[in-house]
Amino acid sequence: MPRLTFAEATRRALAAEMRRDPTVWALGEDLGRGGIFGQYRGLAEEFGPERIVSTPISEACIMGAGLGAALVGTRPVIEMRIADFTLCAMDELVSQIAKVRYMFGGQGRARLVVRMPGGMWRNSAAQHSQCLEAWLVHVPGLVVAAPGTAQDAASLLKAAIRCDDPVVLMESKNLWTAEGEVEEDAPPAEFGRARIARQGGEVTVVTWAASVPVVEAAAERSGVSAEVIDLRSLWPWDEAAVVASAARTRRLLVVHEAVTVGGFGAEVVARVIERLGPGGLRAVERLGAPRAPVPFAPVLEDAVRATPERVAEAIRRVAAA
């Protein structure tokens, strides 16, 4: 299998889906130039400006146009450039795209993908570094996925394009240049099916997106037999796999890049405790960012990250409890 970057894996996956299905197209800012991370490079030359559409700088317009196109039978891939910019189009996403199937009794379907490159990226600062997955998981009607490997970036994009419900892909900016082996002919991923990234018997560590390689590195250096579960999709999420692992280890750590307060890690912890009962776990902990804007200065940015060192320390702390 070739080793591809996250960006190249998604570029090839999108191209394959566009060749397979003529109703698939993409719209967003600067797509004709290849996109901000190169994830659309060369596609305008192959598919033309009617299927790789560079739009004006208006997120509300981009999101609304994608919905309208989906309602008349196409499968748009909506590029938000950076997840923070989605805030300018939240009404179209939350009140329209997520609700249209329910509001019209299934007569209208928003068969579309919203790509949101999010999270910290060096010196991007407070308005370009947010992790919004907890907001979006909270919205009924949306499927939410968060790939942590190049393979999953490609497989989840294929699954999202073929899905008959709106899918939000939380693609981590910090992973665009990360490389991994990619089976290009692999079938689309299955939403709600986690990946056991590392097997272990002492602590269950649940994570997703950019935190996946961080947690894998931390587990190796922790000296603890930690089982690392990469959720891959956040709604639906693989509750059964997490509960089964936590029931065996009786220790649970959830790690994510987003702010800890109100983060999706709280949902994971709550559901495991509900399923296993008050005595089912000997130790449980969440590790994420503090409730603070992401700083611009690199030294301060590092201070709010869940680094491999902090994660390894948390693994050892939970294991010792």
Q: Active-site positions?
A: 128
266 token code pair:
């709280």
The two most distant CA atoms of the chain are separated, in Å, by 60
Contact between 158 and 13 under an 8 Å Cβ cutoff? The reply is yes
101 token code pair:
């199937």
Contact between 80 and 59 under an 8 Å Cβ cutoff? The reply is yes
Neighbours of 127 (CB within 10 A): 12
Strand partners, 144: 168, 235
178 token code pair:
């990360």
Cis peptide bond N-terminal to 140, omega within 30: no
The phi and psi torsions of 78 (rounded to 5 degrees) equal: -95, 120
> Of the candidates 37, 171, 62, 39, which has an alpha carbon nearest to the alpha carbon of residue 117?
171
Question: Which amino acid is located at 149 in the chain?
Answer: T
256 token code pair:
């994510």
